[in-house]
Structure 1
Amino acid sequence: MLFVATACWAGDLHSDLYIEPGKQFVLGGSQPGAFRVVARNVGSVPVEIKERPRGGGIFGKATLVPGQKATLRFLPGSSALLLNPSDQKAHLDLHVTGDTKLSMGYELNGKQ
């Protein structure tokens, strides 16, 4: 179930993102262009990052431990899934470029 949905406009997108325990944050999913996410884990728990392509399936991309930074690219129409499997709140600093007209929202972990 999607709890929050908003749209972002073209350009760079910066987010100080918190993810509750057992939830995943979904970024994108129907955009015509590709996008890139530079993510830094500024919290105290690991965060899993996966890609859900337009055609289905889910593919693991990275697990960021506290203090780790990664640059990840996502295909047109794909969603970036940022999962918090822990029992504590996760905290990420995100910088998104490319097609930033992206939907955003929270789901329970594991939603296909």
Structure 2
Amino acid sequence: MRASSRFHSVSLLTLVVLSLLATACWAGIRSGLLIEPGKQFVLGGGQRGAFKVEAHNVGPVPVEIKERPRGGGIFGKTTLAPGARGTLRFMAGSTAVLLNPSAEQAKVDLKISGDTKLSMNYEPSGKL
């Protein structure tokens, strides 16, 4: 095998590996989320890195989004009205809490990026 051919093979392999890594990092998670009345959806908690949530409220009711930091407490980030969009950043170890305080089902489309090794679960509202 000639040196130029070997270099071309290694360069092509490197390019393919870098492309796959970049795609995995940029792809993140996409989810259509339904939250029943009086429930909340929790995302994350204990992960090593920060994460970002791009949310689009596609349902008929407002959705509250809060952050529960690793060390305790909770603070409000925003409330998304029906049709509204928002981009929210969460610290390493924090939990994103999406609450549906209404009497109707909420629907939110999410795109999550950053550290996506996140736990996901539903809780009754008020468990902050």
The two structures have a TM-score, normalised by structure 2, of 0.79
Taking the aligned partners of 1:33 and 1:41, their CA distance within structure 2 comes to 25
Which of 96, 100, 124 is the equivalent residue of 1:84?
Answer: 100
**Count of equivalent residues:** 104
- Give the AA of the match of 2:103: D
The structure with the greater share of residues assigned to helix is: 2
CA drift at 1:110 = 1.2
Per the alignment, residue 52 of structure 1 pairs with: 68
The structure with the greater share of residues assigned to strand is: 1
Across the aligned residues of Structure 1 and Structure 2, the Cα RMSD in angstroms comes to 1.2
More contact order relative to length (CA 8 Å, sep ≥ 6): 1
Q: Does 1:36 find its partner at 2:45?
A: no
Taking the aligned partners of 1:52 and 1:73, their CA distance within structure 2 comes to 12
1:53-99 CA deviation, whole Å, 9 max, x = no partner? 00000100000000000000000000000000000000000000000
**Off by >4 Å, runs of 4+ in structure 1:** none
Q: Select the structure of larger CA radius of gyration.
A: 2
The two structures have a TM-score, normalised by structure 1, of 0.90
Which ranges of structure 2 fall in alignment gaps of 5 or more residues? 1-23
% of aligned pairs identical?
66
Q: Does 1:107 find its partner at 2:100?
A: no
